[in-house]
Amino acid sequence: MKEKLRAYLPDKRFFRLVLSIALPMMIQNTFTNLISLVNNVTVGGLGTEQLAGVAVANQLVSIYIMCIWGTMSGAEIFGAQFHGNKDMDNLRNTFRFMILMALLVSAVSAVIFLAFGEPLVRLYIYSDAQGSDTVLALKEGTRYLRLLIISFLPLGLNMGYTSILRVNDENMVPMYSSMVGVVSSLAINFLLIPRLGIVGAAIATIASRTIEALINIIWCHTHPDRMPFLKGAFKTLKVPGKLAKQILVTGLPLTANETIWQIGVATITQCYSYRGLSSVAAVNIATTVQMLTSVSIFALGAAIGVVMGNLLGAGDKTGAEEASKKLLGFSVIVGLGVGLLLLILGPLVPVFYPKLSSEVHNIAKWLIWGEAFNAVLNSFYNAAYYIIRSGGKTVTTFIFDSGFIWGVSVVAAVIIAYFTSIPIIPFYWIEKVLDILKCILVYILVKKGSWIQVLSKDTDGILMTL
């Protein structure tokens, strides 16, 4: 029993390896999420309606972000393995694929939000017992959403460049660019929001994302010694058809998964909004705090993708299997730390929103505690998800991830929202408790080991066994 347990505990060497990859990402994600927190606090000073409107707009934009992230993540699977076996030509082609897909997804998303922005925001706006101004919330949310469309181009390009930097083990650059982005967002927020309201918040977000993208892009193209595969990257925009097809076959289920999963999250949030604007504001506060405090969980997932991709790219299947156990154990430790932090922050965070009602404060506190309970589950599942995905089992992760949220979480949310009068706090907690089942199922899948496969056998083709 002790030997089995020891296999899941990371030793010092393994801890240093993962931390060297994850720490810069943790710092980067912390600063990136600080932008959302700064927006929340400053917009929250305007009132519940403004905060609710901005929260709805951000929820919709998150679908676009997850769609791009899924596209980048699918390409990263190949990029990590090409980097592992020093295949610079295919790494260059993978980068081209990332940029082209970022531009395509950004353009399509912009058209959708321009055409259907207001009716989409309207789905989340319900009056509550305090008689909040739903017309104002709808107006502010729609305006903010349309302004954020301007940020899609720099955000999409930045996600492409950040992905290729991560694959190439250049994690410090995105970290520094995020730090600069947060400082600029902070300054512009406090300067413009008191004068321009949510328009000022939108300008701050657009400016910070543009600055962050420019830093990463300029650094990449001025350091050919560190990023040799970018030399001549844009002499042509063509990507070899065979490689593009292989990335799409592996990446499309992943992109679909991230998009469909985020739509599922948005649907659950829409169900929460049925309890009124106070619930929308409180959910927004809780999820923003959760995102900020859980950067270590998400960074661990990204580090897992790099570590496992390099091991599999080098053909070390035994090392990959051993590493997967240590990464799962590491994820539990990280989740416990995040949960403890959220427990402490629960009663403190609402203090930063003095203009919101005591009802919103109380709801937000209990929802943050719900996220504290969920932290270990979230960390464990996130690690298992990346382990399975690193071997190219993207169809499996699609069925598992999107299947669970739509087959269990969304169904439960719809039933509770529309057929019961359960208040928002127990409603939210029920959704978190359901994740226990998801963790049990994913652990069984990882333990089977069927995810272990090498995708990059040579430069001419990629072994695909989905």
Per-residue confidence (pLDDT) for residue 66, from 0 to 100: 84
Which pLDDT tens digit goes with each residue over 65-84? 888 887 887 788 788 778 77
63-67, 334-338, 363-367: which range is least confident on average? 63-67
370 CB-side CA count, 13 A = 23
Helix (H) or strand (E) holding 262: helix 241-273
CA dihedral sign, ordered 46, 60, 30, 287: positive
Asked whether the predicted pLDDT for residue 464 surpasses 50, the reply is: no
363 CB-side CA count, 13 A = 26
Per-residue confidence (pLDDT) for residue 210, from 0 to 100: 94
What's the token pair of residue 418?
């529309």
Closest by CA to 22, choosing from 11, 30, 32, 33, is 30
Asked whether the predicted pLDDT for residue 185 surpasses 80, the reply is: yes
Which pLDDT tens digit goes with each residue over 255-279? 787 788 888 988 999 899 888 888 8
Per-residue confidence (pLDDT) for residue 128, from 0 to 100: 54
Q: Residue ranges per domain, the chain?
A: 2-448
Asked whether the predicted pLDDT for residue 461 surpasses 60, the reply is: no
Asked whether the predicted pLDDT for residue 352 surpasses 90, the reply is: no
Task: Give the residue, 92 or 113, on which the prediction is more confident.
Answer: 113
For the chain, give the percent of residues with pLDDT over 70: 84
Cβ–Cβ under 8 Å, residues 185 and 204: yes
Per-residue confidence (pLDDT) for residue 237, from 0 to 100: 80
Per-residue confidence (pLDDT) for residue 127, from 0 to 100: 57
Count of residues making up the chain: 466
For the chain, give the percent of residues with pLDDT over 90: 26
Per-residue pLDDT averaged across 349-376, rounded?
Answer: 88
Confidence of residue 313 (pLDDT cuts 50, 70, 90): low
165-174, 330-339, 446-455: which range is least confident on average? 446-455
Per-residue confidence (pLDDT) for residue 391, from 0 to 100: 67
Mean pLDDT, the chain, whole residue set: 82
Cβ–Cβ under 8 Å, residues 210 and 154: yes
Per-residue pLDDT averaged across 344-348, rounded?
Answer: 90
Number of Cβ within 10 Å of residue 88's Cβ equals 14
34-38, 125-129, 356-360: which range is least confident on average? 125-129
In the chain, DSSP finds a helix count (H) and a strand count (E) of 17, 0
Residue 80, judged by CB atoms within 10 A of its CB (0-12, 13-18, 19+), counts as buried
Estimate to the nearest angstrom the gap between the alpha carbon of 64 and the chain centroid: 11
Entry pTM: 0.71
